[in-house]
C-alpha cells in the first residue's frame, strides 16, 4: 500500500518528522518499506511560452522565449509538442530534476539556452502514469512564476507499507489514518459524504441468487461530463500507484484507495434491463471481459447479470459490452461485497489480480459499501457535473453490528508478562477508537467493523501490546523446570558426524529432490516406490532421492570438473520411499586419502574406505560386522559387499562401475551407504568392561600359501573356531602374490595373540597350539606352510 | 731417568697419540699399549720389586695415579670419538625444513549443521529437548492443525510441493510441534526445538531456495508469557551475533500465533546507526515469533484456558548469510569445498 501523506492529512494530523513516522509505524503497526518525496526535484516554476521559432541550425529543436514573471528567458526545446502561448514547466539554471540532474546555462548549436522546459518523466513521474511523450502542458489557469510542483500538487511524500495479509483495513487511506491516529494519539476525522440527488428515480431492482454476494448497492448517475481529473486527484492516484484515466474512472479508483471498497461502473444505456441479478456461473458459461478476452467460467465464479446474460465477473472484472467509454452519459455504479475465497479462486484461476480483487480477497468493512458509493456519487457531482438519481437500489445481508469481545486485565498481563494497569489499557482502546465498558477490570470491547481481523481476545491483546509497544515488554525466561538434552539417537547421529570429520571426511548437504534418471542410476534399475511430486517446478527436482549417494555424485563431479581430485565426502540424508523416510549415511571418496603433496602416496582403494568404516564402527561400538561379497548393478562386480551387523544388512560398500562413474565424468570412486536407524538399533548398547591383562601376551606368526580365491576371513574364522581359550585374536598382517608362488596362489601371514588372565602362558602349550593351527590350515585349505 | 720422569714422558706420548687417533680400533691399541699387560707402566711396576718398601709405596702411588690419569684420558677420547661418530651419522640426515608436512586434515561439518548444532546446544542448556519429524507431511499437520484451514490464502497450492491431495513436503517444521503436543497428551509442559529441512515451491535464485533449513521453538505451559519469548530471543540473538545486541519486536502476522511479531537484531555492521547492510534501518530481521494461537493449542490437545505459550521460527540459511555475509543461498547446496572449508 502506497500512502500519499498529503491525502492522509485530510483525516489526521501528520505534522510529524517523516523518520519518526517511519520507525513508529513500523514498530507499532506494519513495516514501512520506504518514505520519500513523490518526486525528487527542486526549484521548478510555471512559465508562459511567448514565442516558439524553429532553431536556425537544427530541424528538431525550437527556440522559445518564456515569460517567467521576473523576466523572459530563451530556452532551446527539443520536444515536438512545444508551442507559443502554452503554460509549461520551466527548470531554470540551478534547478534540480529527477536523478539529480542539475540545470545549467548552455549553448545548443550556437543558440543560448537558459533552462529547460520539462516533461513529467523528467520530474520523475514514470511514463506509465501519464503516457505523455513530449513536454507537459499545464492548464491555462496556472500562475506564471509560481511553483510548478504546487501547481501539479506533486509536493507530496509517499509512504510505502509492506502489509501482512490480515490487516485488510490498511488497504485504505481511512484505515491508515485510524492507525496513525492510534499510534500518535491524534483525532481522526472522516466526513460522511452527502449527495445532492436529481429529479429522476433509480429504476433498478437488485437481487442475488448466491450466498457468495453479501451486499450490493447500485446508484444510477446521469449527465456525466467525461474529462480529465483535477491535478490533486491525479497526483494522489499516481502516489498510490494508479494511472489516472478520466474523471469517472479516477473517481472509482480514488474511492477504492480512500475507503478500501472497490466500485464498478456499467454503461447504463448498454444494460438491457432494469434488473441486476447476482448468481453463480453455470456450466460452460463464457463471458467476454473488459480486456476483450473470452473467459470460460466455472460454477464457483460469481456473475453479475442483467437478469439473463452476465455483464460482469463479480469482484474481478467488468464486461466489454457494458464498458464505460468517452461517449457514456449514464452509469450504474456498483458497490458490493463478495465472498473472499470465491474472489481469490476466480481471480487466480483467470490470472486477473487487481487492486479490487486484492481488497475483496482480504475482506472489506461492510459499513464502507454504501459509504463508498455515496462518496463516489458526491465526487461525480462535483467533478463530472453528474446528476444522481434518487433511491439507491440494494440488498445487504452483511452483519453491520460491531462485535463485542470480553477481555480481563488479568488475562492481558498473564499473556504478556506485564504489569499494565487499567488506565493504560483504557488509553490504548481510546486511541484505537474502540468503544468499551469496564466492570471490575474486565473489558467488554466493541470492535468496529473496519477491523475484520480482530476475531478473538488474542487479537485484542495484540492491539494492546503493539500500541503500548513491544519495547516495553520485560525480558524474562520461562520458569518451567524441564530437563534438556539430545535423545540417544540424536547423540548417535552426532557421533557419526564427529567420527567421520575426525577421519578427514567433509559433510555436505544436498537437495532431496532429484531428477528421475539420477534416482535410477545407482540402483541400476527403476524402482517403483519412489516419491514423485505432483507439481514439480522442474525435471531436475521432480522426485525424492533414494540415497544420499545421488547428491554426492554431483558434488564429486563438481570438484573433479574444477581439478580438485582428492575429495572425501559424507552426507547424513534420507532415503525417501512411498512408505518411509529412512535416515541414511552416504560416503563417497575419490583421489587420495590424506594426500601428501611432494611424497609418493597411494590412491584411495576399496580398503581405504573399509578402513574408514571400521574406524567409524569402532568409535560407535558397532560389533560383529561382516562384509558379504555381492554383485549389484552400477558397481564393480568384484568390489561390492553388503555390510552386515549381527547378520542384519545395514548397507553396502562398493567401487562404482566404470560405466556408472563415466556418467558423472568420474573415474575411481568408492561409496558406502548405511542405514543409520539400523546401525543405532544393532550397536552394542553398553560398555562391557574388562580389566587390563596383567600377564604378558604371547605372539606367534604362521605363513601359508593357498589358493588365491580363498577369502582371508575364512582362514581367520577357521583359526578362531579352534578350541583355544587363550587365543585372543588372529589377523592377517601380510598378503603376498607373485614371485616364488604359483600364479593362482597367494601367501598369507597371520599373527596369533595369546593371553591368559590368570597366569603366564606356557611356551610349550602355545607351541602345541601352533602345530594344531598349522595342521588345520593344511587340512582345510590345502595350504602349504612357508 | 726417574720413574716420575718416565711417567711424565709416557703421559706426553699418550696425549700425542690420542690427539692423532681417529678410530675406535686405534684407541683400543693405544689403550693396550699404555695400560695393557705389556705396557711400559707394567714394566715400571715390575721394576719396583727391587725397591725398598717405602719407595714401593711412593712409586706405587705414582703408577696408580698415572693409570687412572691415562684411563681418564682414553675414556675422554672415547666419548669424543662416539660423539663424532653420532654426529657423522646425523650429518647424513639433513632435511629441507621448509617443505610442508603431509596434508593431514580433519574434515568438517557443513556450515548449516554448525549453526543448527550451536543453536541446539544453546537450547538444550536452557532445558529444551530436540524433536524431529517427517518431511513428507499430511495436510492436517502442516496446515489444518496450525490454524490454516482449507482455502486459507497462505496454503496456496502454488506455494507447496504436493505429493498427493493430502500429502506434501512440509513447508515448515511446525508440524513437529503439533505432533509433540499430541504425543504429550495435553498435559505436561512443552519445551522443544525442531530443526529440519523444509520445502517451498520457489524457483532457486540468490535469495530463494526450494529447500532450506528451519529451526522452530515451542514452549507451552501454564505461565509462559510473551516476556519469556522476548527474553529467550534476546539470548538467541546474542548467541548468534555477539553480546550487547538489542532486539526489536514489531507487529507481524502468522496464522498460528497471536500476537505475532517479527524480530530484528541491531545491525552488526553499524550497531543501530544505519548502514547499507541494514538498509539504513539499524536493524536486521532474523526471525518470526509469537504467542501460540488458541486454535493451535486446541487442535493439539492443550486446553487454551489453562495453557499458553510461545513459538518462534528461524531460517538457518538466512542466519548464516547474515552472520558471514554470504551473498547467494545456492552456495549452501553447491557444496564447493573451498566454500565449506571457510567456516571453522
Ligand atoms: Zn547497519
Residues B42 and B115 in one domain: no
Nearest to B258 among A462, A486, A576 (CB): A462
- Evaluate whether residue B101 is within a structural domain: no
State the pLDDT at residue B76.
92
Residues of A in contact with B266 (CB under 8 A): none
- Let me know if residue B338 belongs to a domain: yes
Q: What is the CATH number of the domain that holds B166?
A: 3.30.930.10
Q: Could you say which of B102, B107, B128 has the minimum Cβ distance to residue A506?
A: B107
Whether pLDDT at A208 is above 90: yes
Q: Given a cut of 90, is residue A286 above it in pLDDT? A: yes
Question: Radius of gyration of chain A from Cα atoms?
Answer: 42
Q: pLDDT confidence of A644, banded at 50, 70, 90?
A: very high
**What pTM was estimated for this model as a whole?**
0.87
Same domain, B127 and B77: no
Q: What is the pLDDT of residue B33?
A: 87
If you count them, how many residues does chain B have? 344
* Strands laid side by side in the A567-577 sheet: A506-507, A567-577, A580-590, A669-675, A648-656, A635-645, A625-629
> A495 to chain B: nearest residue by CA?
B109
pLDDT tens digits, one per residue of A317-350:
999 999 998 889 999 999 999 999 999 999 999 9
How does residue A359 score in pLDDT terms, banded at 50, 70 and 90? very high
A280 strand-pairing partners:
A302
Q: Indicate if B193 and B322 belong to the same structural domain.
A: yes
Q: Please give the average per-residue pLDDT across A465-474, as a whole number.
A: 96
- pLDDT of B130 reads 97
The average confidence (pLDDT) of chain A is: 92
Query: Which CA distances in Å does A303 have to A214, A346, A362, A603, B56?
Result: 13, 11, 20, 74, 146
Residues B175 and B82 in one domain: no
B320 and B183 share a domain? Answer: yes
DSSP characters for A539-579? GGG-EE-S-HHHHHHHHHHHHHHTT---EEEEEEEEEEETT
Q: Which of B106, B130, B151 lies closest to A490 in CB terms?
A: B130
Query: What is the per-residue pLDDT across A741-772, written as a single tens digit (0 to 9) for each?
Result: 888 899 999 999 999 888 888 889 999 999 99
Predicted pLDDT of residue A524: 58
For residues A37 and A156, the answer to whether their CB atoms sit within 8 Å is: yes
Closest by CA position to A680, among listed A620, A725, A624, A637: A620
Q: Are residues B152 and B262 in the same domain?
A: yes
In contact, A471 and B248? CB cutoff 8 Å? yes
Q: In sequence order, what DSSP letters do the residues of A228-273 get, joined into one string?
A: PPPHHHHHHHHHTT-----HHHHHHHHHHHHHS--EEEEEGGG-SS
**Both B85 and B132 in a single domain?**
no
pLDDT digits (tens, 9 = 90+) for A364-406: 999 999 999 999 999 999 999 999 999 999 999 998 999 999 9
List the grid coordinates of A53: 521559432
Minimal Cα–Cα distance from A501 to chain B, Å? Answer: 4
| pLDDT for residue B145 is more than 90 | yes
Residues of B in contact with A361 (CB under 8 A): 153
Q: Residues 74 to 133 of B: which have CB under 8 A from any A CB?
A: 99-100, 102-110, 112-113, 117, 120, 123-130, 132
pLDDT of residue B49: 77
Q: Cell numbers at residue A370, please?
A: 454504501
- pLDDT confidence of B157, banded at 50, 70, 90? low
Residues of B with Cβ-Cβ distance to A490 under 8 angstroms: 130, 132
A 154-213 → B contacts, CB under 8 A: 164-167
pLDDT category at B226 given cuts 50, 70, 90 is very high
Least confident span in B82-86, B271-275, B331-335: B271-275
A572-610 residue pLDDT tens: 999 999 889 999 999 999 999 877 667 767 899 999 999
Q: Does residue B189 belong to any structural domain of this protein?
A: yes
Please count the residues of chain A. Answer: 786
Q: Which of B92, B119, B154 is the last residue of a domain?
A: B92
Are A456 and B258 within 8 A, CB to CB? yes
Q: Identify from B226, B283, B341 which residue to disrupt to test chain A contact, counting A C-beta atoms within 10 A and taking the largest count.
A: B226
Tell whether the model's pLDDT for residue A527 goes beyond 80. no
Same domain for B200 and B322, yes or no, is yes
Residue A522's pLDDT is 77
Q: How far is B224 from chain A (nearest CA, A)?
A: 6
Q: What is the CA radius of gyration of chain B?
A: 43
Residues B72 and B137 in one domain: no
Query: Phi and psi dihedrals of A441, rounded to 5?
Result: 65, 20
On whether both B83 and B151 belong to a single domain, the answer is no
Burial of A491 (0-12, 13-18, 19+ CB in 10 A): exposed
pLDDT of residue B149: 87
Q: Is residue B103 part of a domain?
A: no
CA distance A675 to A671: 14
- Could you tell me if residue B104 is inside a domain? no
Q: pLDDT tens digits for B15-33?
A: 998 898 888 888 888 888 8
Nearest CA in chain B to A20: B281
Asked if residue B281 belongs to a domain, the reply is: yes
Residue listed under C-alpha cell 517479527: B262
Distance CA(A226)–CA(A249), nearest Å, equals: 9
pLDDT score recorded for residue B213: 97
Cα–Cα distance between A214 and A339 in angstroms, integer?
A: 7
The domain total for chain B is: 2
**B200 touches A: beta carbon within 8 Å:** no
Residue B153 has pLDDT above 80, yes or no: no
Task: Dump pLDDT digits (tens) for B45-69.
Answer: 787 777 788 888 888 888 888 889 9
Residue A664: what pLDDT?
A: 92
pLDDT band at A525 (very low <50, low <70, confident <90, very high): low
In angstroms, the separation between the Cα of residue B116 and the nearest Cα of chain A is 12
Q: What is the pLDDT of residues A160-198, one digit of tens each?
A: 999 999 999 999 999 999 999 999 999 999 999 999 999
User: Are B188 and B329 in a shared domain?
Assistant: yes
* B105 domain residue, yes or no: no
Could you say which of B43, B63, B92 is where a domain stops? B92
Tell me how many residue pairs between chain A and chain B have CB atoms under 8 A apart: 230
* B233: closest chain A residue by CA: A475
Domain membership of residue B65 (yes or no) is: yes
- A3-40 pLDDT, tens digit each: 999 999 999 999 889 999 999 999 999 999 999 999 99
Give the pLDDT band (50/70/90) at residue B196: very high
Comparing A64 with B277, the larger pLDDT belongs to A64
Closest chain A residue to B203, measured at CA = A537
Domain that holds residue B195: 111-343
Average pLDDT along chain B: 90
Indicate yes or no: CB of B337 within 8 angstroms of CB of A559.
Answer: yes
Measured between its terminal Cα atoms, the distance across chain B in Å is 85
With pLDDT > 90 as the criterion, what percentage of chain A qualifies? 78
For residues B115-123, average pLDDT: 97
In this structure, the answer to whether residues B69 and B151 fall within a common structural domain is no
The 3-state secondary structure of chain B, one letter per residue: CCHHHHHHHHHHHHHHHHHHCCCHHHHHHHHHHHHCCCCHHHHHHHHHHHCCHHHHHHHHHHHHHHHHHHHHHHHHHHHHHHHHHHHHHHHHHCCCCCCCCCCCCCCCCCHHHHHHHHHHHHHHHCCCEECCCCCEEEHHHHCHHHCCCCCCHHHCHHHCCECCCCEEECCCCHHHHHHHHHHHCCCCCEEEEEEEEEECCCCCCCCCCCEEEEEEEEEEECCCCHHHHHHHHHHHHHHHHCCCCCEEEEEEEECCEEEEEEEEEECCCCCCCCCHHHCCCCEEEEEEEEEECHHHHHHCCCCCCCCEEEEEEEEHHHHHHHHHCCCCCCHHHHCCHHHHCCCC
Amino acid at each position: 500500500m502506497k500512502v500519499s501523506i498529503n491525502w492522509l492529512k485530510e483525516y489526521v494530523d501528520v505534522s510529524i518528522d517523516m523518520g519518526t513516522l517511519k520507525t513508529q509505524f513500523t514498530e507499532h503497526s506494519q513495516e514501512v518499506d520506504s518514505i520519500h518525496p513523490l518526486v525528487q526535484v527542486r526549484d521548478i516554476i510555471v512559465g508562459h511560452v511567448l514565442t516558439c521559432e524553429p532553431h536556425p541550425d537544427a530541424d528538431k529543436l525550437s527556440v522559445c522565449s518564456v515569460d517567467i514573471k521576473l523576466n523572459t528567458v530563451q530556452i532551446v526545446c527539443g520536444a515536438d509538442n512545444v508551442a507559443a502561448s502554452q503554460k509549461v514547466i520551466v527548470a531554470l539554471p540551478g534547478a534540480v530534476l529527477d536523478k539529480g540532474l542539475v540545470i545549467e546555462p548552455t549553448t545548443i548549436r550556437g543558440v543560448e539556452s537558459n533552462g529547460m522546459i520539462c516533461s513529467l518523466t523528467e520530474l520523475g513521474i514514470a511514463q506509465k502514469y501519464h503516457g505523455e511523450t513530449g513536454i507537459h502542458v499545464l492548464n491555462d489557469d496556472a500562475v506564471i512564476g509560481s511553483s510548478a510542483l504546487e501547481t501539479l500538487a506533486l509536493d507530496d511524500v509517499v509512504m510505502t507499507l509492506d502489509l501482512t495479509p490480515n490487516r485488510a483495513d490498511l488497504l485504505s487511506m481511512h484505515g491508515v489514518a485510524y492507525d496513525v491516529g492510534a499510534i500518535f494519539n491524534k483525532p481522526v476525522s472522516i466526513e460522511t459524504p452527502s449527495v445532492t440527488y436529481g429529479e429522476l428515480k433509480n429504476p433498478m431492482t437488485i437481487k442475488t441468487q448466491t450466498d457468495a454476494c453479501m451486499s450490493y448497492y447500485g446508484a444510477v448517475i446521469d449527465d456525466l461530463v467525461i474529462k480529465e481529473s483535477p491535478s490533486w486527484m491525479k497526483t494522489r492516484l499516481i502516489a498510490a500507484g494508479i494511472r489516472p484515466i478520466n474523471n469517472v474512472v479516477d473517481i472509482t479508483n480514488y474511492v477504492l484507495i480512500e475507503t478500501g471498497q472497490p466500485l464498478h461502473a456499467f454503461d447504463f444505456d448498454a444494460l438491457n434491463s432494469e434488473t441486476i441479478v447476482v448468481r453463480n456461473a453455470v456450466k460452460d458459461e463464457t463471458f467476454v471481459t473488459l480486456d476483450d478476452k473470452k473467459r470460460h467460467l466455472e460454477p464457483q465464479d460469481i456473475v453479475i447479470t442483467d437478469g439473463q446474460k452476465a455483464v460482469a465477473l463479480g469482484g474481478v472484472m467488468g464486461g466489454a459490452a457494458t464498458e464505460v467509454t468517452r461517449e457514456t452519459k449514464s452509469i450504474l455504479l456498483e458497490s458490493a461485497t463478495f465472498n473472499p475465497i470465491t474472489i481469490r479462486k476466480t481471480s487466480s484461476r483467470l490470472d486477473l489480480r487487481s487492486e479490487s480483487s486484492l481488497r475483496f480477497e482480504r475482506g472489506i468493512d461492510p459499513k464502507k459499501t454504501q459509504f463508498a458509493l455515496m462518496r463516489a456519487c458526491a465526487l461525480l457531482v462535483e467533478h463530472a457535473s453528474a446528476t444522481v438519481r434518487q433511491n439507491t437500489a440494494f440488498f445487504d445481508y452483511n452483519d453491520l453490528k460491531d462485535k463485542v469481545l470480553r477481555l480481563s486485565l488479568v488475562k492481558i498481563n498473564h499473556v504478556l508478562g506485564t504489569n499494565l494497569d487499567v488506565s493504560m489499557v483504557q488509553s490504548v482502546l481510546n486511541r484505537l477508537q474502540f468503544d468499551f465498558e469496564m466492570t471490575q477490570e474486565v473489558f467488554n470491547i466493541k470492535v468496529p467493523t473496519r477491523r475484520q481481523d480482530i476475531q478473538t481476545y488474542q487479537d485484542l491483546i495484540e492491539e494492546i501490546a503493539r500500541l503500548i509497544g513491544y519495547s516495553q515488554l520485560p525480558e524474562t525466561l520461562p520458569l518451567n523446570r524441564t530437563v534438556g538434552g539430545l535423545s540417544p539417537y540424536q547423540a548417535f547421529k552426532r557421533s557419526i558426524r564427529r567420527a567421520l570429520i575426525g577421519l578427514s571426511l567433509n559433510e555436505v548437504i544436498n537437495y532431496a529432490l532429484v531428477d528421475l534418471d539420477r534416482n535410477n542410476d545407482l540402483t541400476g534399475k527403476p524402482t517403483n516406490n519412489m516419491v514423485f511430486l505432483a507439481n514439480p517446478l522442474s525435471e531436475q527436482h521432480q522426485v525424492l532421492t533414494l540415497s544420499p549417494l545421488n547428491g554426492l555424485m554431483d558434488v564429486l563431479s563438481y570438484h573433479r570438473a574444477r581439478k580438485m581430485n582428492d575429495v572425501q565426502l559424507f552426507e547424513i540424508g534420507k532415503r525417501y520411499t512411498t512408505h518411509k523416510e529412512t535416515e541414511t549415511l552416504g560416503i563417497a571418496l575419490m583421489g587420495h586419502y590424506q594426500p601428501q603433496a611432494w611424497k609418493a602416496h597411494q590412491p584411495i582403494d576399496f580398503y581405504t574406505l573399509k578402513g574408514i568404516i571400521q574406524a567409524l564402527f569402532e568409535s560407535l561400538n558397532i560389533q560383529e560386522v561382516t562384509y558379504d561379497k555381492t554383485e549389484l548393478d552400477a558397481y564393480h562386480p568384484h568390489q561390492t559387499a553388503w555390510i552386515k551387523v549381527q547378520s542384519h544388512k545395514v548397507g553396502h560398500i562398493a567401487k562404482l562401475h566404470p560405466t556408472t562413474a563415466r556418467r558423472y565424468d568420474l573415474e575411481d570412486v568408492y561409496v558406502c551407504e548405511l542405514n543409520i536407524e539400523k546401525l543405532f538399533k544393532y550397536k552394542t548398547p553398553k560398555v562391557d568392561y574388562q580389566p587390563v591383562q596383567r600377564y604378558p601376551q604371547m605372539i606367534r606368526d604362521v605363513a601359508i600359501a593357498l589358493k588365491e580365491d580363498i577369502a582371508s576371513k575364512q582362514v581367520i574364522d577357521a583359526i578362531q573356531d579352534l578350541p583355544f581359550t587363550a587365543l585372543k585374536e588372529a589377523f592377517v598382517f601380510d598378503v603376498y602374490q607373485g614371485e616364488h608362488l604359483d600364479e593362482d596362489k597367494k601367501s598369507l601371514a597371520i599373527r596369533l595373540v595369546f593371553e591368559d588372565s590368570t597366569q603366564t602362558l606356557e611356551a610349550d602349550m602355545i607351541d602345541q597350539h601352533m602345530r594344531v593351527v598349522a595342521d588345520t590350515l593344511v587340512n582345510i585349505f590345502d595350504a602349504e606352510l612357508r | 731417568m726417574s720413574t716420575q720422569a718416565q711417567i711424565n714422558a709416557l703421559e706426553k706420548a699418550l696425549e700425542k697419540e690420542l690427539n692423532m687417533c681417529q678410530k675406535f680400533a686405534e684407541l683400543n691399541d693405544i689403550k693396550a699399549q699404555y695400560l695393557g699387560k705389556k705396557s711400559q707402566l707394567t714394566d715400571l711396576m715390575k721394576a719396583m720389586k727391587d725397591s725398598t718398601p717405602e719407595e714401593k709405596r711412593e712409586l706405587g702411588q705414582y703408577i696408580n695415579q698415572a693409570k687412572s690419569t691415562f684411563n681418564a684420558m682414553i675414556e675422554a677420547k672415547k666419548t669424543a670419538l662416539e660423539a663424532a661418530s653420532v654426529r657423522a651419522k646425523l650429518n647424513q640426515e639433513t632435511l629441507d625444513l621448509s617443505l610442508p608436512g603431509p596434508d593431514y586434515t580433519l574434515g568438517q561439518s557443513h556450515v548449516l549443521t554448525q549453526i543448527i548444532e550451536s543453536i541446539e546446544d544453546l537450547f538444550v542448556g536452557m532445558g529444551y529437548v530436540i524433536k524431529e519429524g517427517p518431511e513428507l507431511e499430511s495436510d492436517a499437520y502442516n496446515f489444518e492443525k496450525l490454524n490454516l484451514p482449507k482455502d486459507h490464502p497462505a496454503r496456496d497450492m502454488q506455494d507447496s510441493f504436493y505429493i498427493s491431495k493430502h500429502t506434501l513436503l512440509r513447508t515448515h517444521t511446525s508440524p513437529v510441534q503439533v505432533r509433540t503436543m499430541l504425543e504429550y497428551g495435553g498435559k505436561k509442559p512443552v519445551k522443544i526445538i525442531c530443526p529440519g529441512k523444509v520445502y517451498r515451491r520457489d524457483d532457486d535464485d540468490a535469495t530463494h531456495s526450494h529447500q532450506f533449513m528451519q529451526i522452530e521453538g515451542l514452549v507451552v505451559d501454564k505461565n509462559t508469557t510473551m516476556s519469556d519469548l522476548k527474553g529467550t530471543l534476546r539470548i538467541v540473538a546474542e548467541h548468534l551475533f555477539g553480546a550487547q545486541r538489542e532486539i526489536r519486536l514489531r507487529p507481524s502476522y502468522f496464522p498460528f500465533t497471536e500476537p505475532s511479531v517479527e524480530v530484528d537484531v541491531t545491525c552488526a555492521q553499524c550497531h543501530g546507526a544505519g548502514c547499507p547492510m541494514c538498509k539504513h534501518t539499524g536493524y536486521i530481521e532474523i526471525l518470526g515469533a509469537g504467542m501460540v494461537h488458541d486454535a493451535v493449542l486446541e487442535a493439539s490437545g492443550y486446553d487454551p484456558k489453562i495453557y499458553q505459550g510461545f513459538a518462534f521460527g528461524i531460517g538457518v540459511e538466512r542466519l548464516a548469510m547474515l552472520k558471514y555475509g554470504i551473498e547467494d543461498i545456492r552456495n549452501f547446496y553447491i557444496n564447493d569445498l573451498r566454500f565449506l572449508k571457510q567456516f571453522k
